[in-house]
Amino acid sequence: MAKSPLILLFSTLLLLSSPLPSLSSDPDPLQDFCIADLQSPISITGFPCKPASNVTSNDFFFDGLAKEGDTNSPFGSSVLQGNVLAFPALNTLGLSMNRVDIAPGGLNPPHSHPRATETGVVIQGKLLVGLISTSNVFYAKNLTAGEMFVIPRGLVHFQMNIGEEKALIFTAFNSHLPGAVIVSLNLFGSRPSVPTDVLTKAFQVEQSVVDQIKSKFG
């Protein structure tokens, strides 16, 4: 028996209102490549493409992760990014990579990537890799060369060198621009700064403590 127009209309509306499957990475490209025009004032989930007639072989290669990063920093670590801003050929391809160098005792501080899941492999050294779920469960493991880890999108995580030599990690993301929110810098080094009374309440400490921490990130 044929369905009535009212039932068909209801079924259509129900289908349209149902959640559609979400993409787990950047949208798929609709062309072979799209070398980013980083000078364009327009950027909507990616950059406009450089004209194909101006593309050369060099556009498809990047040596920015070849050199060791400078770990002479407050955290004792260095992150060299291979995202679309550094390597325009990644534009619209939904992937990028970082090189992370960490001195003995150094830390890639707690941070999150709002637009990507991260996976990484330890190339050298011994590292404590940890992450925290949205249920406040802490997961961690000591890793050595050849071992791999994964950090689901948006979760706070870190890597700490617990060995006696420099550590090296290469990480990969399912976004051409994953973003990074460094927790301590985000809260205590923002411009303009987060109001002190917000931070004293959030961390349940005196203003002098907040002022001291802010002075480290100013």
- Residue ranges of the annotated binding site for oxalate are 98, 108, 113, 118
Torsion angle of C-alpha atoms 82, 86, 88, 93, degrees rounded to 10: 30
CB 157 within 8 A of CB 132: yes
How far apart CA 76 and CA 87 sit, in angstroms, is 25
Annotated binding site for Mn(2+): 111, 113, 118, 157
How many angstroms separate the CA atoms of 160 and 127, rounded? 5
- Residue numbering of the annotated binding site: 98, 108, 111, 113, 118, 157
Angle at 122 between CA 118 and CA 126, to 5 degrees: 125
**Cα–Cα separations (whole angstroms), residue 202 to 110, 138, 186, 193:** 17, 20, 14, 15
Alpha-carbon gap, residue 53 to 79, rounded angstroms: 34
